[in-house]
Amino acid sequence: MAHDYRRSDLDRVAPHPQVWRHIRRGLQPVQKDTRFYIDGAWTDRPDAKLIDVIDPASEQVFGQIAAGTSADVDLAVAAARRAFDGFGYSPVEERLALLKRIRDLLEERAEEFAQSVVKEMGAAISFARAGQVYFGIEHVRVAIKVLEDFAFRSEVNGITVRKEPIGVVAMITPWNWPLYQITAKVAPAIAAGCTVVLKPSEMSPFTAQLFAQVMHDAGTPAGVFNLVHGTGEEVGEAMSAHKDVEMVSFTGSTRAGVLVAKAAAPTVKRVVQELGGKSPNIFLPDANFEEAVGKGVLGAMRNCGQSCAAPTRMLVPADRLADVELLAAEAAEGVVVANPLDEKAVLGPLANGPQFAKVQDLIQAGIDGGAKLVCGGTGRPNGLNAGYFVKPTVFSEVTPDMRIAQEEIFGPVLCIMPYKDEEDAIRIANDTVYGLSSHVQSADQEAARRVAGRIRAGQVHINYPAWSGFAPFGGYKQSGNGREYGVYGLEDYLETKAILGY
């Protein structure tokens, strides 16, 4: 990896317009990394097309990566295929030792990862440390525990049943949780005995470079883990369609997930998708509104709302709407939006320009559609004149037919929706194409369980329980297929073999 001032590159690369500003302002350094990690070694691609990486806090180009091609995918998949012949049959003890070395290196380099997440996707530094990185490492810790306890062979009615690794897995991860989404996939795949080709988001690639170095330094056998950067249109499609890939694990938008599934269909490979969400947060009449509303606001806006499981629809009894509006406004207005390196910042900017434009458009759609703007709105917060910063925004009197009630906004925007009775609340909660996550607030545990049982979503959280990396995560409907986390995530990387007469 090198710092490049890029005058020598200008004749072969068409840089992002912000690059010219860098040059005019005195040749500010740009971090350029044109390496892929293939077959146990860093492979430099200095002649590849370059993709600019933008600092969301300044809107300035701070880095460049190489754009991979289908030829790079072929090399990575071939390496993974060769490695699987040995790694797929490796002893559990060897895979456990490897995962523990990976865990230890991630813990040692946690601050480096946190700084990377701040720089490339704008997470506030406190959240990058306590959320993005901590929970990213937790996926490795969970994989270790699951592997220690998992039975790869069992006897069922006189039949021997074996669980075996599916083979080469293509992984496509998004920009909003750069480390967390990688470890949620790589750790259980390694535990299962699979080999991996990873394409991280081109918008947040440098955290993946750090992770590849961890895999190398941990002594991962050559070809077991491979990394190719590039766009979804080229690298992602090539991975999804590749004849020697047995499984694709994809996290991202529903639109992109459909394209991955279509590319994978001709080769009949397994496709696991974790896609969009529009999660409800149902407040039953006996909920502790004074405490739970504020927590709900912060939950919806965590990571700037850039979480598919964010509880962005708050469903409340119609006769409590005014009270909830006041409580929600107080909580939202207390959220500090600032430079993400500021230790006081709760939220930094959104991760990229396209997302900023989308969120601004949907906030305006909420206003134009007749929702009541309780606080926030379009534009940047006061005092922030550059960067993809968004005002924490709360709408009320939102109805299910509005765009903001149906579309995944992926920004710090909360929709408060009144309901008439419990049946109406359940109907509104399920009135969406998504079904990823959900919440129920109630002092009556039995009532909460009753409602939880009728919500069509892969997870239900009652009264804000602690996050668990053992809880299966995945969606109903257009929120995806398959499950991640814990033993359920491990099983998605395994095939089932029955042996009769064993």
List active site positions: 274, 308
Do 69 and 230 meet the contact criterion of CB atoms below 8 Å apart? Answer: yes
Q: Are 328 and 293 in contact (CB under 8 A)?
A: yes
Q: Which of 431, 485, 478, 471 is nearest to 454 (CA)?
A: 431
Q: Could you give the CA distance from residue 457 to residue 36 in angstroms, rounded to a whole number?
A: 37
Contact 306, 411 (CB under 8 A): yes
CA–CA dist 387, 201 (Å, integer): 20
Contact 305, 292 (CB under 8 A): no
As a whole number of Å, the end-to-end CA separation of the chain is 53
* Residue 342: Cβ within 10 Å count: 14
Question: Which DSSP symbol is given to 263?
Answer: H
In the block, tokens 């006769």 appear at 319
Query: Sign (positive/negative) of CA torsion 178, 184, 187, 193?
Result: negative
| Cβ proximity of 172 and 272 under 8 Å | no
Alpha-carbon distance 250 to 318, whole Å? 39
Q: Are 133 and 115 in contact (CB under 8 A)?
A: no
**Consecutive H or E run containing 313:** strand 313-317
Q: What is the DSSP letter of 251?
A: E
The length of the chain, given as a count of residues? 502
